[in-house]
Structure 1
Amino acid sequence: MTAIKMQIQKRTESGKNLVKKIRKDNIIPAVVYSRGGETASVSVDSAEFLRVYKSAGSSSLLSLELEGETIPAIIKEIQRHPVKNQILHVDFQKLNMDEKVRMTVPIVLVNRDSIKLQPSILMQLLDQIEIECLPTDIPNGAEVDVENMDFTTPMLVKDLDIANNENITILRELEDVVCTLTQPSINREDEDEETSIPEATEAAPDVIESEE
């Protein structure tokens, strides 16, 4: 897959107050770390990060552009403000292009608004899935087409498109259920009205007077 470019800058500020200051300037403090390597303090323009994150999510390969150096990386963690939902800090993980990486990618149900069997209710049981592959083989997500689903056959992990990619190892049982399609339940009040049977009026017994 093609890596998405993102401009980052070295960060020399340290301390709580200085970090707050750059956040006010719409700059997000971040770090770039790698296994066995040093951690670099960097920053990224808030608008630049949101632009890339909107299209790439946290499962796409990035090319971090830092002072003429290109760093292959993924977004490993995003810290947000608990109330404002503002991004406070980002962790980038530097990748070795010749070394496999484990990561989680989202599961996308294709044509979920075009399911032919109606009325029906689509239940998604798995939202994401862990995989292992080389950085160049990282998918944006794992897809499965649900347009022709029926009530008796759920979609399984083995039905995902990445299950057919020999360069990607799925770290989950292939028989695990991804989603199911069910019939909507009948409204209980309507059901009671339809099935209720008027009570029969019990006839009074004939009284036969005995003759004495």
Structure 2
Amino acid sequence: MSSEKITAEPRTEFGKGAARRIRREHKIPAVIYGHGSEATHVTLPGHETMMALRHHGQNALLELTIEGKTQLALTKQVQVDHIRRVIEHIDFVAVKAGEKVTVSVPVTTVGDAAADTIVTLERNEVAVEAEATHVPESLEVSVEGVVAGTIITAGEVTLPSGVTLVDDAEVQVVNVAAAPTAEQVEADLEAAEAEAGIVHEESDADAAEAAAEEAGDEAAASDAE
């Protein structure tokens, strides 16, 4: 995983008011936590940082230049305003090249499972240990041709060289199940509606059809007599 080079500014003002002023200037307040050292508060360029996170994912590694000094920083938490869709704050962890870190990496499925199956991702992320500069952006799990009833565990996920699993190897990550039939879907829907107390009013067409069937039954009974 390559790092993005970004120039950061030291931050000396704190609090909600200062953070709002920073955001109005289209910048992002952030903090870098070290290994037992004091946290470093910085301000980052908004657009440049947003593009770096979008490109490298939730574990983006940034090479921050702060007053002429360079610091590798691994993204740990990103606070986003989900209404305005802007980044409000970022937490980083200071790292060094070659240092091992534990991170949660997103899981994606690739390929098409066997016909009439449903693929469910039971875990969106898997915890692994990797060098800070070689954290995978995602882990792919192939479901090509996989038949119903197959469960893929964390221990069966293929990891890149140098990456080791931290999660329990028996944790279910992907579940391939048989797709329900139309009759099963309809029965489940009826059961759910009955449990919720939902009653459908009979339409005019259904009422007319029922009346016609009843009249036909009466006529057949009369003929039989």
TM-score by length of 1: 0.78
1:70-149 → structure 2 map (5 Å cutoff): 70-81=70-81, 83-111=83-111, 115-149=112-146
Shift of 1:59: 1.6
Cα 1:4–1:161 shift into 2, 3 Å: farther
Structure with greater helix percent:
2
**Aligned: 1:44 with 2:48:** no
Is the 8 Å Cα contact of residues 19 and 29 (structure 1) preserved in structure 2?
Answer: yes
- Aligned residue for 1:8? 8
The alpha carbon displacement at 1:106 in A equals 0.7
> What secondary structure, in the 3-state scheme, does the structure 2 residue paired with 1:76 have?
strand
1:3-40 CA-partner distances (Å, limit 9, x unpaired): 23233222233343222112111111111111211211
User: Which deviates more, 14-23 or 100-109?
Assistant: 14-23
Deviations 1:106-159 (A, max 9, x none): 112123xxx152232111101101112221331112221122211132222223
For residue 6 of structure 1, give the secondary structure of its aligned residue in structure 2. strand
The CA distance in 2 between the partners of 1:172 and 1:109, in whole Å, is 18
Q: How far 1:85 sits from its partner (Å)?
A: 4.4
Which residue, out of 155, 158, 161, partners 2:158? 161
Q: Deviations over 1:55-110 (max 9, x none)?
A: 11122332123333221111111123364443211111111334321111111212
Q: Which residue of 1 aligns with 2:174?
A: 179
1:65 is matched with: 65
The residue type paired with residue 34 of structure 1 is G
CA RMSD between the two structures: 2.8
How many residues align? The count is 192
Aligned residue type for 2:146: M
Q: Which runs of 5+ in 1 are unaligned?
A: 193-200, 202-212
Q: 1:174 to 1:85 in 2, by over 3 A?
A: same
- Name the amino acid aligned to 2:45: D
Structure 1 match to 2:213: none
The one-letter code of the counterpart of 1:154 is I
| Cα distance change of structure 1 residues 139 and 14 upon mapping to structure 2, 3 Å threshold | same
| Alpha carbons of structure 1 residues 189 and 18: separation in structure 2 relative to 1, 3 Å | closer
Helix, strand or coil: the match of 2:175?
strand
Instruction: Output the CA distance in 1 between the equivalents of 2:78 and 2:145.
Output: 37
AA at the equivalent of 2:19: V
Does 54-63 or 22-31 show the bigger shift?
54-63
| Residues 169 and 26 of structure 1: CA distance in aligned 2, closer, same or farther (over 3 Å) | same
CA gap 1:116/1:104 in 2 versus in 1, 3 angstroms: closer
TM-score normalised over the length of structure 2: 0.74
Give yes or no for contact 2:153–2:173 (8 Å, CA) kept in 1. yes
- Per the alignment, residue 183 of structure 2 pairs with 188
Query: Cα distance 1:116–1:160, how it changes in 2: closer, same or farther (>3 A)?
Result: closer
